[in-house]
Amino acid sequence: MSKQVHLRIDDSVYEALTDYTESAGISVQESVSFAIIQMLDKQRREMKVKSDFTFIDLFAGIGGMRLAFEKNGGHCVYSNEWNKYCQQTYFANFGEQPDGDITKVNAADIPDHDILVAGFPCQPFSIAGVSKKNSLGRATGFEDKTQGTLFFDVCRIIKEKRPKAFMLENVKNLCSHDRGHTFKVILESLDELDYDVFYSVLDGQNYVPQHRERIIIVGFDRKRYGHDIDFKFALTPVSPKPVIKDILDSSVDTKYTLSDKLWVYLQNYAAKHKAAGNGFGYGIAPVDGVSRTLSARYYKDGSEVLIQQKGKNPRKLTPRECARLQGFPDSFKIPVSDTQAYKQFGNSVVVPLITDVAGLIVKKLKKLDSSNKTN
């Protein structure tokens, strides 16, 4: 939903604006909207905010990890997300439009921060046959290993800003990608940056009614804290364990019910693959249990998480139910279409799980900082 605003501007300003929009290949509306957002961002950055620590939010999506670190007392000083629809949702909830293409961002321009947070995409890594002995400062260090991947941008920002700690999130398959070679390069690159690194595959079903395994990588600066850093993923799951019926609306629009055509197709598709010995097919979520993993393709047919209905075809989850399945609060605004919302929540994180991990990182940093002061 959008509002209309009528502006009166001088002829000279209008001419300059027209020239700019023509050369930039954007509309006057886009240009004015961007200028207003920039003004609001500037005002927000200039506000004095009390916080326990600062962090940046890279590959921010719609801000699930920002919610987690803010809940632990942090203040976000910079965010980056290229997708324009995610930017919309991010702005609606945080009053800040993230920067765009991270590959074009000068790391030195990013504000100093205590913790770097990133849900970086997993891209193929091109290894140039560089020997392990090459140091970080040389052209044949981690830059050769990760150049051309978005993980390289995380590394160059860590190298430039040297945060006290970082937390990276990715799909579970990152560990096995390219027979483990990708993950090996990631760990070696972070080690070369002189950080003690810890990682674990964690399942969101201990916090929300969804089986969702993700790898979490945490690092602490050895230059600041030394080599004897001990960190454990000592999580505190939600109790009692949530189930699907906890996130469902009592009344749902009929548009979310599968059409006869789609329902027949999904049943035939499942039967065909079952006969072939495959496990592919739709998934009816048990109301007293947990669902399959919600994915970004959910908007297509909702097949991985369907809700049984009495006397009707099954239905998809609503965008709000998807938000709850990922642990977002009901106060979280959804300003985009259902299709975009499904993509966004399917790509997001389990917020309470990340909140738990963030709390452990903050607790460890406080202990490390306290120890540094007494030494």
What does DSSP assign to residue 167? Answer: E
| Tokens matching residue 282 | 């739709």
Task: Select from 246, 170, 168 the least CA-distant residue to 205.
Answer: 246
Residues 267, 268, 270, 274, Cα dihedral to 10°: 130
Query: What are the Cα distances from residue 176, in Å, to 180, 198, 235, 289?
Result: 4, 17, 24, 29
State how far the Cα of 369 lies from the Cα of 211, in Å rounded to an integer: 36
Q: Which amino acid is at 203?
A: D
Q: What's the Cα-to-Cα distance from 288 to each of 210, 245, 291, 292, 342, rounded to whole Å?
A: 12, 6, 10, 13, 23
* Number of Cβ atoms within 10 Å of the Cβ of 238: 14
Extract the tokens encoding 369.
Answer: 């900082």
Q: What is the C-alpha to C-alpha distance for residues 164 and 149, in angstroms, rounded to an integer?
A: 24
For the CA atoms of the chain, what is the radius of gyration? 23
Closest to 177 measured CA to CA, from 124, 99, 230, 213: 124
- Find out whether 235 and 357 touch, Cβ atoms under 8 Å: yes
Sequence-ordered strand ranges (E) for 204-333: 213-221, 306-307, 315-316
Residue 29 CB: number of other CB atoms within 10 A?
Answer: 12
CA 62 – CA 89 distance, rounded (Å): 6
Residues 6+ away with beta carbon under 8 Å from 334: 89, 319, 320, 323, 341
Active site (annotated) includes residue 122:
yes
**CA angle centred on 266, ends 261 and 270, rounded to 5°:** 150
Question: Could you say which of 76, 86, 122, 155 is catalytic?
Answer: 122
- Residues with catalytic function: 122
